[in-house]
Structure 1
Amino acid sequence: MVQQHIVKVWERAGRFEDVQRLEEGGVDVKVWDCNRGEEFVLVLKKHVSTDCYVFCGNWRSQFVSPRGLNKGDEIGLFWCNYSHSFFFSVLPRAPAQPSV
């Protein structure tokens, strides 16, 4: 999805250096948190060996931990070409696991 919805948009916008840096150290990207009304900076990086894109930097401390996100929780994330940033929101949460 990143390849189709972000990388291709960046290429059309002439951001070839950023596309190349994805496979190197990563690219600093702004992320607007729609739930909290705050902006953060993370690093978007492609792991070449697995062909997966990940957020690095403070992803866990700024997004996962403060919200108590768990496996199965759904998030919304889209790239806005006008603001050159991602917009992030927590969507439906996974059902709570029963206590044993």
Structure 2
Amino acid sequence: MSDVGTQTRFLIPKESVYDLILKYLKEEEIIKVEGIDHEGLNINVFDSDTKTIHPLCFMRWNSAKNYVFNGTWRDFVDRRDLKEGNEIGLFWNPHASRLHFCVLA
């Protein structure tokens, strides 16, 4: 519920982050994601359903020991009318250096 509620972030369990994203990033990009200064890494997210690109900030969230996308995440929720229980798909496209997003159910 927190991913589609009033909070403006999408939480990703740390167990999934390496296989989905981190293994494709350069060392300096990983430093931005993992950094204690909470700078994060600005990435483009391609919505495969609407064929649109949206910027998000990807970072490690120390207090929850997980990773988050924030910035314009709320735009995804509102634009796609996401609700608790929706299933989404994510994969990193190494050729385009961006994350692909789609609503599965």
Q: TM-score under structure 2 normalisation?
A: 0.77
Q: Which 5+ residue runs of structure 1 have no aligned equivalent? A: 93-100
18, 23, 37: which is aligned to 1:8? Answer: 23
CA–CA distance in 2 between the matches of 1:91 and 1:4? 19
Aligned length: 87
* Residues 1-100 of structure 1 mapped to structure 2, 5 A cutoff: 1-10=16-25, 15-23=26-34, 24-61=38-75, 63-92=76-105
Residue 72 of structure 1 aligns to a residue whose secondary structure is: coil
Deviation at 1:67, TM superposition (A): 1.5
Q: Whose Rg is larger?
A: 1
Residue 22 of structure 1 aligns to a residue whose secondary structure is: helix
Deviation at 1:72, TM superposition (A): 1.1
Query: Structure 1 stretches (4+) deviating beyond 3 angstroms?
Result: none
Residue 2 of structure 1 aligns to a residue whose secondary structure is: helix
CA–CA distance in 2 between the matches of 1:9 and 1:60? 25
**Which structure's relative contact order is higher, taking Cα pairs within 8 Å and 6+ residues apart?**
2
Root-mean-square deviation (Å): 1.1
Q: Which 5+ residue runs of structure 2 have no aligned equivalent? A: 1-15
Deviation at 1:8, TM superposition (A): 2.2
